[in-house]
Amino acid sequence: MKVDKTLVASVALHVLVIGWGLISFSARSLEAPPPESMPVDIISADQLSKITAGIKTGEKDQPKPLVEKIADAKPVEDAVGKITEKKEIVTASAPEPPPKPVEKPVEKKPDPPKPVAENKPKDEPKPLEKKPDPPKVDPIAEALKSEDTKKPMPKPEAKAAPPQPPKPKQERTFDQSKIAALLDKRDPTRQSITGAALNSSASLGTTRGTAATLSQSELDAMRARLASLWNVQPGVEHPEELYVTVRIRLNPDRRLAAPPQVVSSGTSARYQAAAEAAVRAVLQGQPYTMLRDETYEQWKYMDIDFDPKQMFRS
Amino acid sequence: MPVTSFSLPSLPLNRRDILIGGAGAAASLLLPSLAGAQTKLQITEGNVAPLPIAIPNFVAGSPADGEVGAGVAQVITNNLKRSGLFAPIDQAAFIEKIVNIDAAPQFQSWKTINAQALVTGRMTRQGDGRLKAEFRLWDVTAGQQLTGQQYFTSPEYWRRIAHIISDQIYERLTGDKGYFDSRVVFVDETGAKERRVKRLALMDQDGANVRYLTRGSDLVLTPRFSPSTQEITYMEFGQGDPRVYLRNIETGQSEIVGNFPGMSFAPRFSPDGQRVIMSLQQGGNSNLFVMDLRSKSTTRLTDTPAIDTSPSYAPDGTRICFESDRGGKPQIYVMPATGGAAQRISFGEGSYSTPVWSPRGDYIAFTKQGGGQFSIGIMKPDGSGERILTSGFHNEGPTFAPNGRVLMFFRDPGGNSGPSLFTVDISGRNEQRVPTPGFASDPAWSPLLS
Q: pLDDT digit string (tens) for B331-343?
A: 999 999 998 899 9
Residue where a domain stops, chosen among B119, B144, B174 = B174
In sequence order, which ranges of B218-324 are alpha helices (DSSP H)?
A: none
Q: Where in the sequence is the domain holding B95, given as residue range(s)? A: 4-10+49-174
Q: Tell me the C-alpha to C-alpha distance, in Å, between residue B7 and each of B58, B72, B381.
A: 17, 19, 38
Q: Give which of A270, A276, A291 to mutate to test B binding, by max B Cβ within 10 Å.
A: A276
CATH number at residue B118: 3.40.50.10070
Contact A302 B39 (CB under 8 A): yes
The strand pair at B211-212 and B59-60 is best described as unpaired
**CB contact set of B240 (below 8 Å; sequence gap of 6+):** none
B358 touching A (Cβ < 8 Å): no
Contact A223 B27 (CB under 8 A): no
Q: The whole model's pTM is what? A: 0.67
B20 touching A (Cβ < 8 Å): no
B191 and B245 assigned to the same domain? yes
Beta bridge partners of B123: B60, B133
Contact B427 A276 (CB under 8 A): no
Contact between residue B329 and residue B314 where contact means Cβ atoms under 8 Å apart: no
B352: closest CA of chain A, how far (Å): 20
For residue B46, pLDDT over 50 is answered with yes
B218 and B300 assigned to the same domain? yes
Percent of chain A having pLDDT more than 70? 38
pLDDT of the residue at B366? 95
B32 touching A (Cβ < 8 Å): yes
Angle at A245 between CA A243 and CA A251, to 5 degrees: 155
pLDDT tier, A74 (very low <50, low <70, confident <90, very high otherwise): very low
Fill in the DSSP letter of residue B65.
Answer: G
B197 lies in some domain:
yes
CA distance B412 to B392: 9
B210 and B337 assigned to the same domain? yes
H/E element holding A297? helix A296-299
CA distance A85 to A174: 8
Contact between residue B202 and residue B184 where contact means Cβ atoms under 8 Å apart: yes
For residue A73, pLDDT over 70 is answered with no
Query: Minimal CA–CA distance to B222: which of B213, B230, B232, B231?
Result: B232
B213 and B195 assigned to the same domain? yes
Residue where a domain stops, chosen among B156, B174, B192 = B174
Residues of chain A contacting residue B172, judged by C-beta atoms under 8 Å apart: 273
Beta bridge partners of B407: B400, B424
B170 and B189 assigned to the same domain? no
Contact A273 B174 (CB under 8 A): yes
B213 and B134 assigned to the same domain? no
**CB contact set of A238 (below 8 Å; sequence gap of 6+):** A270
CA distance A66 to A78: 19
Residues of chain B contacting residue A309, judged by C-beta atoms under 8 Å apart: 44
Count Cβ neighbours within 10 Å for each residue of A196-225 and write b for 16 or more, e otherwise: bbeebbebbeeebeebebbbeebbeebbeb
The strand pair at A244-249 and B220-225 is best described as unpaired
List pLDDT tens digits, range A249-287: 999 898 888 889 898 888 888 898 889 889 999 998 888
CA distance B288 to B346: 19
A160 touching B (Cβ < 8 Å): no
**What is the ipTM for the molecules in this complex?**
0.74
pLDDT tier, B92 (very low <50, low <70, confident <90, very high otherwise): very high
For residue B23, pLDDT over 90 is answered with no
B258 and B151 assigned to the same domain? no
B213 and B64 assigned to the same domain? no
CA distance B159 to B205: 12
B193 and B298 assigned to the same domain? yes
Weakest mean pLDDT among A120-134, A167-181, B3-17, B365-379: A120-134
Which of left, alpha, beta for B266 (phi over 0: left; psi -120 to 50: alpha)?
Answer: left
B305 and B221 assigned to the same domain? yes
Domains of chain A (ranges; CATH) run: 59-210 (no CATH), 216-312 (3.30.1150.10)
Contact B47 A228 (CB under 8 A): yes
Which amino acid is located at B38 in the chain? Q
B188 and B229 assigned to the same domain? yes
For chain B, helix (H) and strand (E) counts, in that order, are 4, 32
A268 touching B (Cβ < 8 Å): yes
B102 and B193 assigned to the same domain? no
Contact between residue B47 and residue A229 where contact means Cβ atoms under 8 Å apart: yes
How many interchain CB pairs under 8 A, A with B?
A: 140
DSSP string, A125-177: HHHHHS--HHHHHHHHHHHHHHHHHHTTTTHHHHTTTTTSS--TTHHHHTSS-
DSSP string, A208-247: HHHTTSPPHHHHHHHHHHHHHH-B--TT-S-GGG--EEEE
A205: closest CA of chain B, how far (Å): 25
A224: closest CA of chain B, how far (Å): 8
The mean pLDDT value for B91-112 works out to 91
Instruction: Report how many domains make up chain B.
Output: 2
List pLDDT tens digits, range A91-146: 444 444 444 444 444 444 444 444 444 444 444 444 444 444 444 445 555 555 55
B16 lies in some domain:
no
Residues of chain A contacting residue B146, judged by C-beta atoms under 8 Å apart: 276
Share the mean pLDDT of chain B: 87
pLDDT tier, B400 (very low <50, low <70, confident <90, very high otherwise): very high
Rg of chain B in Å (alpha carbons)? 25
B22 lies in some domain:
no
Q: Tell me the C-alpha to C-alpha distance, in Å, between residue B94 and each of A20, A124, B53, B162.
A: 98, 47, 11, 21
Per residue, the 3-state secondary structure of A238-253, as one string, reads CHHHCCEEEEEEECCC
B368 lies in some domain:
yes
Contact B47 A227 (CB under 8 A): yes
Residues of chain A contacting residue B426, judged by C-beta atoms under 8 Å apart: 235
Residue where a domain stops, chosen among B148, B174, B200 = B174
Contact A311 B46 (CB under 8 A): yes
List pLDDT tens digits, range B261-320: 788 889 999 999 999 999 998 888 899 999 998 898 999 999 988 999 999 999 999 999
Q: Tell me the C-alpha to C-alpha distance, in Å, between residue B142 and each of A110, A306, B8, B23, B139.
A: 58, 18, 19, 16, 6
B316 lies in some domain:
yes
CATH number at residue B415: 2.120.10.30
Query: Minimal CA–CA distance to A282: which of A251, A310, A256, A308?
Result: A256
B33 lies in some domain:
no
CA atoms within 13 A on the CB side of A194: 12
DSSP string, B417-428: ---EEEEEETTS
List pLDDT tens digits, range A161-213: 444 555 554 555 555 656 665 565 554 444 444 434 444 433 333 333 344 56
Candidates B40, B171, B427; nearest CB to A303: B40
CA distance B162 to B133: 9
Contact A268 B31 (CB under 8 A): no
Contact B116 A280 (CB under 8 A): yes
For residue B71, pLDDT over 90 is answered with yes
